[in-house]
Structure 1
Amino acid sequence: MSEARRKAAPSRARQKKHWALRVLGWLAALFFLGVIGAAATFFIGYQTTDIPDPNKAFQTNTTTVYYADGKTELGTFFEQNRRTVPLAKIPKTVQDAVVAAEDRTFWTNPGISPSGMARAAFNIARGQQLQGGSTITQQYVKIMYLTQERNLSRKFSELFIATKLSRQTDKKEILEGYLNTIYFGEGAYGVAAAGDAYFSEPDPARLTVDEAAFLATVLNNPSYFDPDKPEAQKRILERYRYVLDGMRQTGTISDATYAKSSKKLPPLDKKDRGGRYAGTKGFLLDMARKELERLGIPDDEISGGGLRVVTTFDFGLQSKAVAAGVKRLPKKKNDLHVGIASVKPGTGELVAMYGGPDFLKNQLNWATLRARPGSSFKPFAVAAALKDGRDLYDVYQGDSPIEVQGQELGNEFNRDYGDVTLLKATEQSVNTAFYDLVDNQMENGPAKLVDAAEAAGIPKTQALERGRNNPATVLGPDPYASPVEMANAYATFAAGGMYAPVHTIKTVKTAAGTMRWNAADKLKPTQMIDKEVAKLVNYALQDVVQKGTGEDAKELGRPVAGKTGTAGGVAVEHRAEFAKEGDDCKDCTDTLTSWWTGYTPELSTSVLYRAGKTGESDLDPYSSDPAFFGGNWPVKTWLAYMEPALAGQAETEFDEPDPDSIKNTPTFTPTQTPTSLPTQTPTQTPTNKPTNKPTQTPTNTPTKTRPTKTRETPTWPTIPTGEPTETNTPQTPGNQGPGSQ
């Protein structure tokens, strides 16, 4: 190698190193320029930002809730309750509890939190909602000096004002203002109002350590830490212990006090809700408020942000639903409950709901609490079968019993129907035919049934997911759905398979008129069930009305489709008795739920009957029929609502399915007709019913005695449901009592 070439190599290496150093230099220069620029920007912002006059007239603005027309007022969420007290009258335990919960460096920080600023910047970069107002000073500034708008400009103003306020104002003054203005939930602004709201103690000086820690817990997010929500109990206790631990670390409480107080939450002594929730409309307001929370609107803004909320509830239809729920009931009414929900197909709008007579007397909403659906679940099996390539004229076993996974499952009253088509099985709600379809004939039938139910709109729950491996899923032994959810799922069929999420909020506007939420833009219908499948389901469910278990619904005088459903089990008043005797009640089946969900192309409405304080008592004593059938009182109540609801509207036909799919091509002839009917067959049959129709369809004609109801299948293992009204309820999947009705 030449001398010249040997000398050239080091030159290139030095050149590369030279360029690397230059790049590093430029990066360092850019970094320092960024730091200087940021500092300069903050300094300029700090110098040019003045602390505005405090909002001395601070008060919440009424949030008004309207019916669907946007004009008729449903109610308000204005719940302002505030009383100012000087810091000297707020004990140190209360002050320290709030500091431990919200800002442990409050007494030493400059009014802002660098980590909070970094978190806010990170959220902005990810396109998420602005957060990071973590210091007490920043929160106080947001309340007293700024609006609730969450944008970058407001965030910078908050930082500048908080920094300047912290330098110019005594920390004790800031804490006093904060403790008298922060929202604690329950309409309470300030610690004095909060103590009164949660513990009926208006004097902060008399709050215990436990009570002070609890108030400091809920103020962080009153909706998320709402003690009225069962699902919030664990997270409330965890944060409550976090607050107590902070108090221990600062020396406010001893280790012994922490050990004693952290065991459980203090007992609440809450005041009754205001009269604005009285009567039936309280259920509507409560449901609307919960949906606003799910939309991410802060609790204090819901209570006092001056929002204009338009719901989906139709004033006229709501009045008709209330009238039906109050007036069209059996004569015996004590502890009898009815839930009514009505949904507009294709939109998901809940236009009417009856959850009970008075929200203030009983907050259990019978239209939103889930219950055993019984045979109301069979339409989803029809949809699953059709999707699986089967048709309405495939033949299944209608005799009772049928063997499934080594278990004998049967029809109501052990009736035999012979071989039946899927269409006939749906019409007469033949249990064994559906067991044959789902468990014997379809591969992974229960799972396909669950898929169809969820596609239609039944929420995905643990109980429903367990049904993927349960041979009794077709009769819905667990609390899978509420009337609201069932009405919306059937509305999917009515809309040709188009699913839309059920909702109660149409629009939300701020006090300034800015659109905060618009359901029409956010909740778009989706084709979840094949259109032809939906048409065939509608066709089959119209047969239920024309000549099946829901025949009385023909009185509506227009095209109607629907399905009855009753679910059996052991009533709550009988469980202890049989458990004590070691008897699993194989010779008895109480009726626990009774359904009728019927729909037209314009409206889908579900009616559910339950009994007892928890909804787990026997329904049968309320009816003179062999059982509290879905085709009787639920249909009557449904008609009492639907007839006036659709009065004056043009009659609309369901879309016809492909003619080839509804031709009765099989050549078989059923070999048996229903047998073993109860001897107390109703004596009065409407004249428009076919004379050769099986007489098991219930009517309201009293019978002198009831036939003995027998359990056709063994008891299956108990499965906890997690529902508030399903405490330790024995599950009997194979036997739904009068499940075929």
Structure 2
Amino acid sequence: MTPSGRQGRYDAWRNRERYHIARTLGGNDFSEIVEDCTVSEGRRKAAPVRRRGKRHWALRVLGWLAALFFLGVIAVTAVFFIGYQTTDIPDPNKAFATNTTTVYFSDNKTPIGSFFDQNRRSVPLSQIPKTVQDAVIAAEDRTFWTNPGISPSGMARAAFNIARGQQLQGGSTITQQYVKIMYLTQDRTFSRKFSELFIATKLSRQKDKKEILEGYLNTIYFGEGAYGVAAAGDAYFSKANPAQLSIGEAALLATVLNNPTRFDTDSTEPVVKQRVLDRYRYVLDGMKQTGTITEADYAKWSKAVPPIHKKKKANRFKGVQGFLLDMARKELSRLGVPDDQISGGGLRITTTFDKNLQQKMNASIAERPKNKGDLHIGMASVRPGTGELVAMYGGSDYLASQLNWATLRARPGSSFKPFAVAAALDSGDFNIYSTFQGDSPIEVQGLKLKNEFNDDYGDVTLKQATEQSINTAFYDLIDKQLDNGPSKLVDMAEKVGIPKTTALERGRNNPSTVLGPDPYASPVEMANAYATFAAEGMYVPVHTIKKVDYPGNAKDWTDAQLPHKQVISKELADQVNYVLQDVVEGPKGTGKLAKDLDRPVAGKTGTAGGVAVEHRAANAKCDGCKDGSDTLTSWWTGYTAGYNSPTDSKGLATSVLYRAGKTGESDLDPFSDDAAFFGGNWPLRTWLAYMEPALGDTDKAEFPEPSDDALKDSPTPTYTPSNTPSNTPSNTPSNTPTNTPTNTPTNTPTNTPTNKPTKTHTPKWPTIPTGGPPTPGNGDGNQ
């Protein structure tokens, strides 16, 4: 049938249907009825029936949501009302001043000490100046005089943090904080928090606000063992009478009470000092807004924090153990333990510090240049695979100086190169026999970068470049051959344990990152990063707290809660360990002195050059003519085998750093007879003096061998060292170590090094020495 025929039959059928419809409806005129039907049909098609249904369901959903919201409001109100009515204000907690927290070595028997003497003294509100009262109110609770004892916005903020899985927050108003101290425990539980809200609301209605403020100002913890504003003024400014406090001093006390550890007025770190200043200005601004001080007062006092005049710390902080106590206190704060509880909560703190190992490390510091001068040693020892800091030396006496040279970050120099080795091998594009340019200089980003003393080495393998710490080979690897090399180097360093910092992140675009030219890491952090290699790629955060025992029924904390992560493969770790053993065992290794330990050792030297602080003015006048002429840091970080699991780890990873001068930015070279203060000499000697007795007669474990594929033969590279350059010392210093040196140099170093070479100036990118003393005849003075 043709299409026109089919259409005709369809039209006839439609007309019959319309005719029957018309007859049923009683119409006479077929065409009118058909037209009406057609119009009706068109209207039905145009009617938005489904849209009307969607609108209907949307309204119903909104209605249900509104109803649920109001029911929730009613329920919350009912719960609060019932809780308010059924909660009584308990008797004041007369024992809130209770016990001193005690800190122990890892044996949980031998005490290291306690943090503070408890300093508590109450004074009536009439003896506390209005400036002091208003400073605290501006810092902690600006609506104190008008709020009902609680802060709805603070409660909402706490609920939001809890929903995100963060820690349950403390009371946000002065009344809530006072209730927590005087009427409740320090436990961070929901039941305690709800009790705090109800009691704070009742207390605000039943007590005069002045009475609450007086109680608060006499019980709140200000740090330094001081409870109450009178004790705080005495502790920070040696002013026992609060009436003697200046506007700035009152504002600074209000600043630190928020978190005495976070706002540490003793800290020398720029970020902490800025944090304190910002908070201090925030307090002053609040005082200005309430009319307590004038614009002129604000302008006068906001320029800088007032000077601190603290009393001498108790003898419990004297000596090396003061650094151990201080580090434990700071870590407790990072774990979220409130400062008042750290000081007087009656906690029993078990640290990771091993009493015997700590004694051996303290004794090892005697192995140092005899001309001590203003020379500093930072030292840290970590148990691989556990993250336990078993011994640390930050200085000889915490009371004399609070600068902890084991935790202060410094330029790592060539001790950063193992992270480059790991990044290269991890990429899959290189093996330990891949060859790189060892000649000097090498051009990177338009800059000519050199080996120490400008030595040439020809083409060298990655293994040889690491053994002898050849700068240009690592520039070739990271800045030329490895795709996005500096960034991959930073990624690897952060992966194995070097903290992510602004300085290190800048290294992603720095052609000298592989030589650690900026303060990237401390000895504690470097020891733990190398410990990751020793533990076959297992990383655990370095820590000093093993267990926190809370009084009563509070849940204790242990370091078993810390994460254990396999951050690199065992195969990769084995290859890095194999390469770093050559630094010790290789014929030209910069760390060959470590063979005296008489067991397998892997490690790396590091020496960072620059311009000492005492030479910087002259350097500026001569347009950088002294760039790279001084040695600012000198490292040896080495580790032994013996890791089987976190519960069976017998090796140690230990890092030693030498610095000079009040700020650690002076020239080290006058303390050595070497051409420079190389890491392969004094830092390694000090390391040996600790590691030999620390390891004693323990099993001399071997490092696991890399796979056969990793060690397969490759073409031997060209290796033709040049003749010793003219700026290499013509005479070997008398205390240069031989293959089997003694631990004590034969000659006492003088203030001026013998035959110290003049180093070639490279604008903006100074030559950076990298580790060990030069060996006669091989010209490898770049170590």
- The TM-score, its normalising length taken from structure 1, stands at 0.88
- The answer to whether the 8 Å contact 1:393/1:422 transfers is yes
3-state SS of paired residue (1:511) = coil
Match of 2:419 in 1: 380
- 1:292-335 CA distance string (max 9 Å, x none): 2222222112111222222111111111111112x111111111
Partner of 1:616: 665
Q: How does 1:494-643 map to 2 (within 5 A)?
A: 494-512=534-552, 514-524=554-564, 526-546=565-585, 547=587, 548-582=589-623, 584-585=625-626, 589-601=629-641, 602-643=651-692
Structure 2 distance, partners of 1:99, 1:699, is: 61
Deviation at 1:668?
A: 4.7
CA contact (8 A) 1:592 1:611 kept: yes
**Structure 2 letter corresponding to 1:533:** L
Q: Any idea what SS the aligned residue of 2:234 has? A: helix
Q: What does residue 763 of structure 2 align with?
A: 715
The yes-or-no answer on 1:154 pairing with 2:184 is: no
Structure 1 residues 671 and 511, CA, compared in 2 at 3 Å: closer, same or farther? same
Provide the secondary structure at the position in 1 that maps to 2:398: coil
**Structure 1 counterpart of 2:16:** none
How far did residue 357 of structure 1 move? 0.4
Percentage of pairs with the same residue = 70
Deviations 1:628-660 (A, max 9, x none): 221111111111100011002111100001134
Structure 2 CA distance for aligned equivalents of residues 16 and 698 of structure 1:
87
Choose from 89, 94, 116 the match for 2:154. Answer: 116
When structure 1 is superposed on structure 2, of 542-551 and 412-421 the one drifting more is: 412-421
Preserved contact between residue 280 and residue 305 of structure 2 (Cα < 8 Å): yes
Q: Matches of 2:137 and 2:719 in 1, distance apart? A: 78
1:204 match: 242
**CA contact under 8 A between 1:411 and 1:712: conserved in structure 2?**
no
Q: Distance in 1 between matches of 2:517 and 2:54?
A: 76
The aligned counterpart of 1:724 is none
**Residues 266-307 of structure 1, C-alpha deviation per residue, up to 9 Å, x if partnerless?**
333222222221100111111111112222222112111222
CA contact under 8 A between 2:624 and 2:763: conserved in structure 1?
Answer: no
Query: Cα 1:387–1:115, aligned 2, differ >3 Å: closer, same or farther?
Result: closer
Question: What is residue 34 of structure 2 aligned with on the other side?
Answer: none
Contact 1:223–1:298 (CA<8 Å) still a contact in 2? no
Correspondence for 1:681 = 732
* TM-superposed deviation, 1:545: 0.8
Deviates more, 1:674-683 or 1:564-573: 674-683
Q: Which of 121, 124, 135 in structure 2 is aligned with 1:97? A: 135
Are 2:703 and 1:654 equivalent residues in the alignment? yes
Cα deviations across residues 74-101 of structure 1 (Å, max 9, x unaligned)? 1212442111111121222222332333
Shift of 1:16: 11
The alignment status of 1:222 with 2:268, answered yes or no, reads: no
Residue number in structure 1 paired with 2:385: 346
Distance 2:392 2:712 in 1: 39
Structure 2 CA distance for partners of 1:119 and 1:617, relative to 1, 3 Å: closer
Partner of 1:364: 403
**Which residue in the other structure is 1:139 paired with?**
177
Partner of 1:265: 305
Query: Partner residue of 1:727?
Result: none
Q: How does 1:229-244 map to 2 (within 5 A)?
A: 229=267, 230-244=270-284
Unaligned runs of 5+ in 1: 690-694, 717-730
Determine which of 441, 456, 464 is the counterpart of 2:504.
464
Equivalent pair of 1:589/1:737 in contact (CA under 8 Å): no
Q: Given residue 762 of structure 2, which amino acid in structure 1 is its aligned partner?
A: P
Which is further off, 61-70 or 218-227? 218-227
Q: Quick check: 1:305 aligned with 2:345?
A: yes
Offset of residue 13 of structure 1: 12
Bigger drift between 163-172 and 561-570 goes to 163-172
Conserved? CA contact 1:625–1:698, under 8 Å: no
Is 1:740 aligned to 2:764, yes or no? no
Matched, 1:175 2:213: yes
CA distance 1:468–1:181, change in 2 (3 Å): same
Q: Determine if contact 1:342/1:353 at 8 Å carries over to the other structure.
A: yes
DSSP-derived class of the 1:714 partner: coil
Quick check: 399-408 or 284-293, which moved more?
399-408
Mapped to 2, the partners of 1:505 and 1:76 lie a distance apart of 14
Residue aligning to 1:41: 79
Q: Give the residue type in structure 2 aligned to 1:69.
A: D
Indicate how the Cα distance of structure 1 residues 489 and 110 shifts in structure 2: closer, same or farther if over 3 A, else same: closer
Q: Distance in 2 between matches of 1:97 and 1:384?
A: 52
Whole-angstrom distance in 2 between the partners of 1:118 and 1:583: 56
Deviations 1:405-463 (Å, cap 9, x if unpaired)?
Answer: 34333322233333322222222222222223333333333233222222222222222
CA distance in 1, matches of 2:141, 2:735: 74
Amino acid at match of 1:681: T
Once residues 498 and 636 of structure 1 are traced to their aligned partners in structure 2, the CA distance between those partners, rounded to angstroms, is 28
SS at match of 2:694: helix
Q: How many residues align?
A: 716
Residue 654 of structure 2: SS of its match in structure 1?
strand
Contact 1:476–1:733 (CA under 8 A) maintained in structure 2: no
Give structure 2 stretches of 5+ with no counterpart. 1-20, 26-36, 642-650, 773-780
CA gap of 1:407–1:700, structure 2 versus 1, over 3 A, is: farther
Q: Identify the range of structure 1 (105-114 vs 370-379) with the bigger mean alpha-carbon deviation.
A: 105-114
CA contact (8 A) 2:626 2:761 kept: no
Bigger CA drift: 281-290 or 53-62?
53-62
SS state of the match for residue 566, structure 1? strand
SS at match of 2:710: helix
- Counterpart of 2:706 in structure 1: which amino acid? P
Amino acid at match of 2:660: A
Deviation larger for 142-151 or 121-130: 121-130
**Counterpart residue type for residue 707 of structure 1:** N
Name the structure 2 match of 1:721.
none
2:474 counterpart of 1:434: yes
Residues 252, 322 of structure 1: CA spacing in aligned structure 2 closer, same or farther, 3 A cutoff?
Answer: same
Q: Distance in 1 between matches of 2:174 and 2:65?
A: 37
Higher Cα radius of gyration? 2
Q: Pick closer, same or farther for the CA change 1:13–1:454 going to 2, 3 Å.
A: closer
Match of 2:144 among 77, 88, 106: 106
Give the Å deviation of 1:555. 0.8
**8 Å contact from structure 1 (residues 75, 276) kept in 2:** yes
Alpha carbons of structure 1 residues 733 and 24: separation in structure 2 relative to 1, 3 Å: same
Go from structure 1 to structure 2 and tell me whether the alpha carbon gap of 1:261 and 1:402 turns closer, same or farther (over 3 Å shift).
closer
Q: Which moved more, 1:246-255 or 1:8-17?
A: 8-17
Give SS of 1:480's match.
Answer: coil
User: Which residue of the partner structure matches residue 645 of structure 2?
Assistant: none
| In structure 1, distance between residues paired with 2:57 and 2:714 | 84
Q: How far is the alpha carbon of 1:672 from its aligned partner?
A: 4.3
In structure 2, the residue matched to 1:446 is 486
Q: Which amino acid aligns with 1:540?
A: V
Quickly say closer, same or farther: Cα 1:18–1:288, change in 2 above 3 A: closer
Q: 1:515 to 1:556 in 2, by over 3 A?
A: farther
The answer as to whether partners of 1:66 and 1:75 remain within 8 angstroms in 2 is yes
- For 1:24 and 1:550, locate their aligned partners in 2 and report how far apart those are by CA, in whole Å: 74
Secondary structure of the corresponding residue to residue 596 of structure 2: helix
Distance 1:699-1:711 versus aligned 2 partners, 3 A rule = farther
Once residues 216 and 159 of structure 1 are traced to their aligned partners in structure 2, the CA distance between those partners, rounded to angstroms, is 24
Q: Give the counterpart of 1:192 among 226, 230, 247.
A: 230
**Does the 8 A contact of 2:606 with 2:771 survive in 1?**
no
TM-score by length of 2: 0.84
Q: What is the alpha-carbon distance in structure 2 between the residues aligned to residue 15 and residue 625 of structure 1?
A: 90
Deviation at 1:698, TM superposition (A): 12
Please say if residues 413 and 769 of structure 2, whose CA atoms lie closer than 8 Å, have aligned partners that are also in contact. Answer: no
Measured against aligned partners, the alpha-carbon deviations of 1:73-129 in whole angstroms (never above 9, x if no partner) come to 112124421111111212222223323333333333333333333434444444433
Counterpart of 1:88 in structure 2 is 126
